[in-house]
Structure 1
Amino acid sequence: MSTKAPSVVAADPNAQATGQTPAINRFVYIAVGIAALGGLLFGYDTGVISGAILFVKHEFSLSPTMEEFVVSAVLVGAVVGAAAGGALTGRYGRRWMIILAGAVFTLSAIVTAMAPTVGWLVGARIASGVGIGIASFISPMYIAELVPTKVRGALVAVNMLAITTGILVAYLVDYAFSASHGWRYMFGLAALPSLGLIIGMWWLPDSPRWLISRSKISQARTVLQRARTTSDVDQEIREIQQSMAQQGHGGLAGLFQPSLRMPMIVGLGLAIFQQITGINTVIYYAPTIFKFAGISGTGPAILAGAGLAAVMWCFHVLAIFLIDWVGRRPLLLTGLAGQIAGLGVLGAAFQFPQLASVKSEVAIGGLLVYVSCFAFGLGPIFWLLISEIYPLQNRGVAMSAVTVTNWIANLLVAVSFLTLVSVLGQASTFWLYGFVAIGAWLFVYRFVPETKGKSLEQIEAHWRSGKSPRHL
């Protein structure tokens, strides 16, 4: 699937004065598409385990506890990658870190495909997780720092579309190799897009904002001129420099300064709620959930998971068109309300005997509502907001801290899902996620700002003013 953005337009002030809205130049599309390959790999390596685990657990005779560990091994690596990436991206830049992630993806895909024992498999999956942890926040950061303000939401959301594309492709690959039990091919094919990421990023420049932060003004000017529809970018450079001059300390200590207190609350809260509302139980265990619902056979269960991913993909496309028009907050609140409804229906399918004759249909309906609403709400907007709300001086470390929190929450959900099902039952587990989603809705309503149409520097100035998030 292509990760190319839709035909959106940049609002150039000069163009607006004449009634024209020139299209974004080709360089921006190419840069976004290449950087979003990091998202595609993130999605592929996240989704591929859902089908592969059905064969891995038989080949290595895994217990339920060991099965959970194999599934969640990638998340351990993701925590490490996200933590290390924050410190390294400030020093070496966004471009080199994305290239490093591509190299890690390539190596881990090959080793996973050749793993002779479960120990090798777990080790390679942890390495793959390191690549995911790096790419998960540096790819959207790179895009947000490069593209024009008016279309930043849509183009950063392309990265989330790429993640869902990766998940969809993973399910289709799982289905293609399910008849031959070819789980090694399922893992090994990830090496192809990872090589494309390395080659593509090799020829792209670094983020102009990172270049300015390293006093490489001439290089930043060249990049901005390529990424804008005008060659006069001096005002934008001055705004970035003026914003940097007012920023506090960088590094981990800088996260505790008063002006960052609220953005950290917003980022960390969204990071936790995105995961503990249960989305990755659906991604990791979709075939297992469909078997719970009465769909028999490994191949049909995997194909049903692919259908679910295709629905997510369609609603991510919808989000790309809406995010800079409707705004972040309305999509978040509407999406979370839909997730609550979907989880309620999903739990009901397993709880009430009266629904036994239509259990599969009701469960699938609940899942479709749930993933659709996640796909245009909390899914893409979390990654967009954390690429927007932090000052340049602290952006790498702040996004790293938030992403580490996201992956830890992801890990806890992944290792606890089957246990919760065995202790609480299927219905109560999904209803528990639904009650958490209610808390997430209240959190968004109270704390999350609307960043539509604001430059990164305007958002930074708002936090320094000490005003409420909802006044942005």
Structure 2
Amino acid sequence: MSTAPAVPQPLVNRHFIWKVSFIAGLGGILYGFDMGIIAAAMIFVRSTFGLSTRMEEWVVSIVLVGSMTGAFVGGSIADRIGRRATLVWGGIIFIAGSVLAPLSPNVACLIIARALLGVAIGFTSVTAPVYVSELAPPQSRGTLIGLYQFALTIGIALADLVGYWLAAQQGWRLMFGIGAVPAVLFLLMVITVPESPRWLFAQGRQTEAEQVLRSYTDEAGVSLFIDDIRNSLRTPMERRWSALWSPAVRNSLFIAVGFTVLQQVTGINTIIYYGPKIFALAGITANKSAIFATLLVAVTNVLATIIALVLVDRVGRKPLLYVGVGGMTASLFTLAACFYNQDALGHSLGVIATVCLMAYITCFAFSMGPIAWILVSEVFPLRLRGRGVAAATLGSGTSNFIVSLTFLSLINAAGNAFTFAIYGGFCIITLFFVRFVIPETKGRDLESISANTASSRQAS
């Protein structure tokens, strides 16, 4: 395996980089909140509108249809009008969906509002990690991109906290409406930051790109970044989606889409969307108690993500994945065994299920959760980065949609134990994918990562 030569690290204005990462993180909070709030709200939406199991699955899952649409369109928009402008539009759509959802007079209107929120999620999930990756220096890129996933976990925890707080008054409308607050803050902050210098350079706006670079790095850093960008643009920016299938990019596409699909089919969002339902299956039947148990899992998710932020640029991506996915596998099979023997376990099943889910979410949070989006933002060449990340997000959204739309039906048809064993089986597949497909990208500049990925494909 070839190793990229060491390059001098530029001096950077850490305040500026952290500000940009914080703004992108707000997009993650919105993503997590609007995904997570449905777990608590659905308990009361179900009774308000008299929903069937199938309609309940659609109310939960329609946000993923919107996110797939937003990812598909957002990738093209991010390459065409810029990363910052796409984030601005994402903020506007977030506000629209957050206002419409609590005002919904019927389930059809709520579905439309949730679909709008999904479109906004698609825009920001495609664009925010790319935007940060194109500004961040190589030695801290993993941590800074990982902040997006960390913010997403905070959004989920906030959603569960709001759900727990409002559960007594069954205030599902206010649960949805609170999402407008971070949406407005996100929009106000996005308009204060510049466009990505890599995107500006790709559009022939070199002077503007240099001005942005000088706002957060020294002259040596400007020269280094410009050289990297110029080398990556020897091939012009590509406007065709079919270019993702070219021999030079196909391996990057396989890595990104394959890993984001595996991230979803290992079952993470069944816990995010249906946490109270899972705990009810385990014997925790009181609504507020089930929401509280889901909140504990969400807080664990936040705390465990910090592990990834600390270690991802120190020990690397693959070691964290081996440990994390291995732990997820053990947790899911243990949970499956507990459900299989739930008559013998009796009331202790609820405690065991909570421990298993907390162990699972811990392992996910320091491995697959942040690292999937770090890799997606790293492996594509600049000329196709927006579309590449959009394709990965589309794959993630599609698999997420299928999992969330089928979870309750699968529980009813196959039983609790077999359902969680299926997700455990996908974890085993993920371990093989990490071993034989995922590259180690720690400390390498973006251009060398995409070049080495392409060359490894051609060599194979």
1:401-424 deviations in whole A, cap 9, x for unaligned?
111111010000001000110011
The letter of the residue matching 1:160 is Q
Question: Hey, what does 1:61 align to over in structure 2?
Answer: 50
Would the alpha carbon gap of residues 285 and 468 (structure 1) be closer, same or farther in structure 2, given more than 3 Å must change? farther
In the TM superposition, what are the counterparts of 1:184-263 in structure 2 within 5 Å? 184-228=173-217, 232-246=221-235, 249-263=238-252
1:345-382 deviations in whole A, cap 9, x for unaligned?
11122111332242112111110111111001111111
The letter of the residue matching 2:81 is Y
Contact 1:339/1:370, CA 8 A, preserved across alignment: yes
Deviates more, 1:345-354 or 1:445-454: 345-354
In the TM superposition, what are the counterparts of 1:175-190 in structure 2 within 5 Å? 175-190=164-179
Count residues with an aligned counterpart: 454
**Does 1:422 find its partner at 2:450?**
no
In the TM superposition, what are the counterparts of 1:441-456 in structure 2 within 5 Å? 441-456=431-446
**Does 1:81 find its partner at 2:76?**
no
Secondary structure of 1:245's counterpart equals coil
Would the alpha carbon gap of residues 14 and 362 (structure 1) be closer, same or farther in structure 2, given more than 3 Å must change? closer
1:319 aligns with one of 291, 302, 308: 308
Contact 1:247/1:391, CA 8 A, preserved across alignment: no
The letter of the residue matching 1:13 is P
Question: Hey, what does 2:8 align to over in structure 1?
Answer: 13
Would the alpha carbon gap of residues 141 and 14 (structure 1) be closer, same or farther in structure 2, given more than 3 Å must change? closer
1:136 aligns with one of 107, 125, 142: 125
Contact 1:137/1:403, CA 8 A, preserved across alignment: yes
CA distance in 1 between partners of 2:202 and 2:297 (Å): 42
**Does 1:116 find its partner at 2:139?**
no
Contact 2:252/2:453, CA 8 A, preserved across alignment: yes
Question: Hey, what does 1:8 align to over in structure 2?
Answer: none
The letter of the residue matching 1:183 is W
Q: Which runs of 5+ in 2 are unaligned?
A: 1-5
Contact 1:274/1:382, CA 8 A, preserved across alignment: yes
CA displacement at 1:253 relative to structure 2: 2.1
Secondary structure of 2:183's counterpart equals helix
CA distance in 2 between partners of 1:469 and 1:330 (Å): 25
1:363 aligns with one of 336, 348, 353: 353
CA distance in 2 between partners of 1:90 and 1:230 (Å): 27
CA distance in 2 between partners of 1:269 and 1:463 (Å): 15
Question: Hey, what does 2:3 align to over in structure 1?
Answer: none
Question: Hey, what does 1:7 align to over in structure 2?
Answer: none
Contact 2:237/2:382, CA 8 A, preserved across alignment: no
Secondary structure of 1:36's counterpart equals helix
CA distance in 2 between partners of 1:232 and 1:139 (Å): 22
**Does 1:35 find its partner at 2:24?**
yes
CA distance in 2 between partners of 1:334 and 1:51 (Å): 31
**Does 1:71 find its partner at 2:66?**
no
Contact 2:9/2:137, CA 8 A, preserved across alignment: no
1:314-333 deviations in whole A, cap 9, x for unaligned?
11111000000011111112
What fraction of aligned residue pairs are identical, expressed as a percent? 38
1:377 aligns with one of 367, 371, 396: 367
Contact 2:45/2:172, CA 8 A, preserved across alignment: yes
Question: Hey, what does 1:106 align to over in structure 2?
Answer: 95
CA distance in 1 between partners of 2:309 and 2:82 (Å): 27
CA distance in 1 between partners of 2:26 and 2:93 (Å): 14
Secondary structure of 1:295's counterpart equals coil
Deviates more, 1:125-134 or 1:242-251: 242-251
CA distance in 2 between partners of 1:45 and 1:29 (Å): 24
Contact 1:12/1:229, CA 8 A, preserved across alignment: no
1:148 aligns with one of 134, 137, 141: 137
1:435-455 deviations in whole A, cap 9, x for unaligned?
111011111111000000110
CA distance in 1 between partners of 2:388 and 2:233 (Å): 16
CA displacement at 1:220 relative to structure 2: 1.2
1:58-114 deviations in whole A, cap 9, x for unaligned?
000001111111111111111110110011111110101111111101011100010
Secondary structure of 2:215's counterpart equals helix
Contact 1:225/1:231, CA 8 A, preserved across alignment: no
CA displacement at 1:469 relative to structure 2: 9.8
1:7-49 deviations in whole A, cap 9, x for unaligned?
xxxx99378xxxxxx7852111111101211111000000000
Contact 1:341/1:369, CA 8 A, preserved across alignment: no
CA distance in 2 between partners of 1:323 and 1:94 (Å): 25
CA distance in 2 between partners of 1:246 and 1:459 (Å): 16
Q: Which runs of 5+ in 1 are unaligned?
A: 1-10, 16-21
CA distance in 2 between partners of 1:160 and 1:121 (Å): 27
Contact 2:320/2:367, CA 8 A, preserved across alignment: yes
CA distance in 1 between partners of 2:99 and 2:108 (Å): 15
CA RMSD of aligned residues (A): 1.8
Question: Hey, what does 1:6 align to over in structure 2?
Answer: none
CA distance in 1 between partners of 2:34 and 2:152 (Å): 10
